[in-house]
């Protein structure tokens, strides 16, 4: 069958992406499989089985210093009793335990430290993640074949893997929860389907365990209970609801088995909280929460920073497919209820810029409307000619984006702007100056006309009071570091109408490059009217500096239409501990 061939094509490509194109397991620091959020989910395993220190995390500093995963205690907080609570729930750690155990057994014989983070451990997590992803994809094919023909399923599989962000989290970022949850949802739907065909304890217990593990992985996945509760319903009339209630009442012993199975799994997290804090319930996300009354419905999906649909536009087909799915689809109530409620929860999270990865576990549901749309398209030739080129273009976009995220330099969805997005999307090379659009929406291209030097300061005279001035080898510099983060504003008179653009330039010298985006030194231009700031623009200079480099950099900015009387240049360093020296400030006006 063509869907089976497609599955093996997808599997081969995912294995290539995981172990040849970008094997995260052998990367260092924050690019490793066990890093950032993934390290937070994983941290339970070495804490319990190697260091036997769930409470105090005394090993934390040595691991952070040696491997630099940017996780661990950074993903938790200290209690009044002196113990630490890990931020992330333990579901993924428990599911990863078999792979961790194998790594822990073979690490020492292979000559690696038995410390939970040496190469065998991220490799084991990588292998475990890809096996679970491929297992989920295989059974996803079987699930779709229950409702759609082989050609529809083949196209669905191909577009899921090659055309959406499932590729990234199902093949590369395997320390995260999303492909694991995708697989859990596939099995949950399948067991719900079979339970209503043959209601027995086997399916009931499986459903409970799957709900339990999904919730233990991400607490908001408690809504997974909607799927078995509503599966098979095609409407919400009084008679339909009454029939479902009577069915569940008749099967009450099996429903109790489901509840007990789920509760036993969830109880693991409660036990951990009780052990470290003395309380059964702990809100480990601290200052992060939900805006239930004002969810970020549009900005979550459509923003150029991390927007779900901006970076997984193939899913627009699934959203369009909801229209025919309402008319032709099966199990409409369960699938549509889950899609709507899940999106409400995801978009209500106040850290909305965490991106479209949070939607991946809902793809088993979203691909029912997706497959319904494909089924309709295949029956109408004119729709094939319209949709096929669009779908292939979106496949190209997803492959290009995945490459840029892990092998290229043009694209990174953790720091984007609308201007930069449209300038580089789909391209493989752009001029270096284009990178400035990530920070500053103004970019002048071409030869400046009527270039006029209007301000110059070599820091030898006319210096405002500036505590960042240092003398190095007999010369004055603006010196920024963690203790001296902000320079003075170097102001000069300027009026609207003289020219359309300003170009500010300065010389920058660093010893070591700063890689953390939010710590990068900013080169800032301000415009004022009567002391009130009218416009500001900036670039992050470490985008253009390498270790030990001395370089002149400039920023071009359009003069605002509003009346202005003053402009200024300043520099800000956030909290980088990498010193930077700045001098030779010059500003030109030009057309």
* Domain match, 256 and 274 both: yes
Last residue of a domain, one of 395, 430, 465: 430
Residue 84 maps to a domain:
yes
Distance (Å, whole) CA 237 – CA 244? 11
Whole-prediction pTM: 0.91
What's the CA gap between 95 and 213, in Å, rounded?
Answer: 8
User: 139 with 226, same domain?
Assistant: no
Question: Phi/psi at 107 (nearest 5 deg)?
Answer: -55, -55
- Backbone torsions φ then ψ of 149, nearest 5 degrees: -75, 170
Write out the residue range of the structural domain in which residue 49 sits: 1-151+164-176
- Is residue 158 assigned to a domain? no
Do 260 and 302 have their domain in common?
no
The three-state DSSP-derived secondary structure of 277-345 is HCCCCCCCCCCCCECCCCCCHHHHHCCCCCCHHHHCCCHHHHHHHHHHHHHHCCCHHHHHHHHHHHHHH
Asked whether residue 460 falls in the same domain as residue 576, the answer is yes
Tell me which of 176, 211, 228 is where a domain ends: 176
Same domain, 228 and 325: no
Tell me, yes or no, whether 482 and 458 share the same domain.
yes
Would you state the structure tokens that stand for residue 423, as one six-digit string? 């300038």
| Domain end (from 284, 316, 337) | 284
Q: Are residues 404 and 481 in the same domain?
A: no
Residue among 519, 79, 99 at smallest CA distance from 273: 79
Measured between its terminal Cα atoms, the distance across the chain in Å is: 64
SS3 571: strand
Is position 341 within any domain? yes
Whether 492 maps to a domain, the answer reads yes
408 and 418 in a single domain? The answer is: yes
Instruction: Tell me, yes or no, whether 324 and 395 share the same domain.
Output: yes
Q: In the block, which residue shows the tokens 């009071």?
A: 465
3-class SS at 379?
Answer: coil
Considering the domain architecture, whether residues 171 and 202 belong to the same structural domain is answered as no
* pLDDT tens over the chain, length 591 residues: 899 999 999 999 999 999 999 999 999 988 999 998 999 999 999 999 999 999 999 998 899 899 988 756 667 888 989 899 999 999 999 999 999 999 999 999 999 999 999 999 999 999 999 999 999 999 999 999 999 999 999 999 999 999 999 999 999 999 999 999 999 999 999 999 999 999 999 999 999 999 999 999 999 999 999 999 999 999 999 999 999 999 999 999 999 999 999 999 999 999 999 999 999 999 999 888 999 999 999 999 999 989 999 999 999 999 999 999 999 999 999 999 999 999 999 999 998 988 899 999 999 999 999 999 999 999 999 999 999 999 999 999 999 999 999 988 888 766 788 989 999 999 999 888 899 999 999 999 888 998 999 999 988 766 777 778 888 888 889 999 888 899 999 999 987 777 889 999 999 999 999 988 888 999 999 999 999 999 999 999 999 999 999 999 999 999 998 889 999 999 999 878 889 999 999 999 998
Domain assignment of residue 442, yes or no: no
How many structural domains are present in the chain? 4
Same domain, 373 and 257: no
Report which of 381, 414, 390 is spatially closest to residue 518, judged by C-alpha positions. Answer: 414
Q: What sign for the dihedral angle of Cα 324, 330, 334, 338?
A: negative
Q: Kindly report the backbone phi and psi dihedral angles of residue 456, in degrees, each rounded to the nearest multiple of 5, phi listed first.
A: -150, 140
Classify residue 194 as left (phi > 0), alpha (psi -120 to 50) or beta. Answer: alpha
Indicate if 249 and 138 belong to the same structural domain.
no
**443 belongs to a structural domain:** no
- Name residues whose C-beta falls within 8 Å of residue 248's C-beta, 6 or more positions apart in sequence: 255
Dist. CA 258–CA 243, nearest whole Å: 20
Residue 438 lies in a domain: no
Is 22 part of a structural domain of the chain?
A: yes
């Amino acid at each position: 069958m063509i869907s089976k061939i497609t599955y093996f094509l997808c599997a081969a490509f995912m294995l290539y992406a995981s172990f040849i194109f970008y094997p995260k397991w052998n990367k260092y620091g924050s690019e490793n499989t066990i890093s950032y959020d993934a390290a937070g989910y994983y941290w339970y395993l070495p804490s319990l089985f190697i260091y036997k220190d769930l409470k105090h995390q005394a090993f934390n500093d040595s691991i952070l210093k040696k491997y630099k995963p940017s996780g661990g205690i950074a993903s938790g907080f200290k209690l009044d009793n002196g113990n630490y609570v890990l931020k992330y729930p333990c579901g993924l750690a428990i599911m990863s335990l078999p792979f961790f155990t194998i790594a822990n057994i073979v690490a020492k014989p292979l000559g690696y430290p038995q410390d939970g983070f040496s190469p065998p451990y991220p490799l084991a997590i990588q292998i475990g993640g890809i096996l679970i992803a491929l297992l989920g994809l295989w059974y996803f094919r079987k699930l779709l074949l229950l409702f759609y023909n082989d050609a529809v399923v083949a196209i669905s599989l191909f577009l899921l893997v090659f055309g959406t962000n499932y590729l990234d989290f199902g093949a590369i970022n395997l320390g995260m929860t999303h492909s694991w949850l995708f697989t859990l949802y596939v099995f949950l739907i399948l067991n719900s389907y079979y339970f209503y065909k043959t209601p027995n304890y086997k399916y009931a217990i499986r459903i409970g365990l799957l709900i339990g593990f999904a919730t233990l992985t991400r607490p908001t996945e408690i809504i997974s209970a909607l799927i078995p509760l509503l599966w098979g319903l095609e409407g919400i009339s009084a008679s339909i609801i009454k029939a479902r209630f009577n069915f569940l009442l008749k099967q009450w012993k099996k429903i109790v088995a489901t509840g007990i199975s789920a509760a036993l799994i969830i109880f693991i997290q409660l036990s951990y909280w009780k052990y470290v804090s003395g309380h059964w319930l702990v809100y480990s996300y601290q200052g992060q929460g939900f805006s239930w009354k004002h969810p970020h419905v549009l900005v979550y999906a459509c923003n150029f920073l991390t927007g779900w649909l901006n970076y997984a536009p193939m899913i627009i087909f699934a959203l369009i497919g909801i229209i025919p799915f309402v008319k032709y689809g099966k199990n409409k109530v369960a699938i549509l209820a889950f899609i709507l409620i899940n999106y409400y929860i995801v978009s209500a999270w106040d850290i909305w810029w965490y991106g479209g990865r949070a939607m991946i576990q809902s793809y088993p549901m979203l691909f029912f409307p997706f497959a319904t749309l494909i089924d309709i398209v295949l029956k109408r030739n004119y729709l094939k000619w319209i949709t096929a080129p669009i779908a292939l273009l979106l496949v190209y976009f997803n492959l290009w984006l995945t490459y840029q995220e892990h092998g290229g330099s043009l694209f990174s969805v953790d720091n984007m702007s609308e201007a930069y997005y449209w300038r580089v999307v789909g391209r493989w090379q752009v001029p270096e100056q284009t990178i400035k659009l990530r920070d500053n929406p103004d970019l002048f291209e071409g030869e400046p006309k009527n270039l006029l030097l209007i301000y110059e300061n070599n820091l030898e005279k006319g210096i405002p009071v500036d505590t960042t001035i240092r003398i190095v080898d007999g010369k004055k510099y603006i010196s920024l570091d963690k203790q001296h983060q902000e320079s003075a504003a170097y102001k000069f008179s300027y009026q609207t109408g003289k020219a359309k653009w300003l170009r500010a330039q300065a010389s920058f010298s660093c010893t070591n490059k700063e890689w953390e985006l939010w710590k990068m030194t900013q080169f800032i231009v301000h415009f004022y009217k009567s002391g009130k700031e009218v416009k500001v623009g900036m670039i992050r200079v470490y985008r253009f500096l390498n270790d030990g480099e001395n370089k002149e950099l400039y920023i071009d900015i359009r003069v605002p239409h509003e009346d202005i009387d003053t402009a200024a240049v300043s520099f800000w360093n956030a909290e980088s501990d990498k010193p930077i020296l700045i001098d030779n400030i010059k500003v030109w006006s030009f057309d």
